[in-house]
């Protein structure tokens, strides 16, 4: 009996040597089972990573767009703290679509107000085909231009956060930072009339109240989540990097805004 037990123990020992049991828990940021707390993700890491709903191969365009926009706004801290690496074209398509819908929904919401505030102009557009054609031409040029400008502003914000993080000693994560900026365009869709309407249809007044309560704080919370989650910066260093990113984004917005106004005046 003793010999048989010893033989069984030797067989079990050989089995333990032959098979490597995988870790049950992996870090959602870097995918490593022995992550100390968490270290910044690397491209070579493997394991469990966040999956952006927009990049999933299943579901329709609207469902993936809406799920991603909700995640970037209502779940911003969780979403951006585990911002996965990936291809930029998919994020760019999301950004362009989200901004286009946000701008078009804003125009649709403002048109009745403009018509009431400027009845003379409204009548002129209704009666004059040339005026209507000119207005439609400006709209056809203005919507794509504003869309590109908004996407660029968000991308520069992400790049500025990467620069600020590197100045605090973090390793570069340029592509993740750009993906942060591109997926941040979901904020604009959620904060616009279309986002509010979708929230009303999905969750009623409670959903709109939730959206209003978080909208103004989303950029700061998302930036901090990215800097602490992906770049593994301490809170004090993350605050300094976030301020640098905000200043750069504000400077670009003001500069490009004046440039756009000057261009419009020149074309007029």
Q: What is the mean pLDDT of the chain?
A: 80
Model confidence pLDDT, tens digit, residues 89-146: 999 999 999 999 999 999 999 999 988 888 888 888 888 988 889 889 888 988 999 9
Phi-psi region of 199 (alpha: psi -120 to 50; beta: other; left: phi over 0): alpha
Spatial separation of the C-alpha atoms in residues 256 and 153, rounded to whole Å: 9
Element (H, E) at 165: helix 129-167
Q: Provide the sign of the torsion angle of the four alpha carbons 140, 104, 93, 213, taken in this order.
A: positive
On whether the CB atoms of residues 116 and 83 are closer than 8 A, the answer is: no
Q: Residue 245 class from Cβ within 10 Å (0-12 exposed, 13-18 middle, 19+ buried)?
A: buried
Encode the chain (268 residues) as per-residue pLDDT tens digits: 544 455 544 544 444 444 344 444 444 444 444 554 444 444 433 333 457 999 988 889 999 999 999 999 999 999 999 898 888 999 999 999 999 999 999 999 999 998 888 888 888 888 898 888 988 988 898 899 999 989 998 998 999 999 999 999 999 999 999 999 999 999 999 999 999 899 988 888 888 888 888 888 898 899 999 999 999 999 999 998 888 777 777 777 677 667 666 666 665 5
């Amino acid at each position: 009996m003793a010999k048989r037990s010893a033989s069984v123990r030797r067989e079990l020992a050989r089995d333990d040597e032959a098979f490597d049991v995988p870790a049950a828990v992996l870090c959602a940021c870097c995918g490593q089972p022995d992550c100390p707390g968490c270290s910044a993700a690397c491209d070579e890491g493997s394991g469990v990573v966040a999956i952006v709903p927009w990049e999933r191969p299943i579901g329709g365009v609207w469902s993936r767009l809406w799920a991603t926009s909700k995640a970037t706004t209502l779940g911003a801290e969780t979403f951006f703290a585990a911002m996965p690496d990936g291809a930029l074209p998919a994020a760019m398509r999301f950004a362009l679509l989200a901004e286009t819908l946000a701008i078009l929904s804003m125009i649709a919401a403002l048109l009745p107000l403009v018509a009431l505030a400027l009845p003379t102009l409204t009548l002129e557009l209704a009666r004059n085909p040339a005026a209507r054609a000119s207005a439609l031409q400006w709209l056809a040029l203005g919507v794509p231009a504003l869309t590109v400008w908004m996407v660029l502003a968000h991308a520069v914000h992400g790049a500025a956060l990467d620069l600020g993080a590197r100045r605090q000693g973090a390793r570069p994560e340029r592509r993740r930072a750009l993906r942060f900026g591109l997926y941040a365009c979901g904020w604009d869709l959620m904060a616009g009339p279309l986002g509010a309407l979708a929230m009303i249809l999905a969750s009623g007044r409670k959903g709109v109240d939730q959206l209003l309560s978080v909208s103004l704080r989303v950029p700061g919370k998302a930036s901090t989540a990215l800097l602490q989650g992906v770049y593994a910066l301490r809170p004090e260093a993350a605050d300094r990097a976030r301020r640098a990113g905000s200043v750069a984004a504000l400077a670009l917005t003001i500069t490009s805004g004046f440039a756009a106004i000057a261009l419009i005046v020149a074309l007029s």
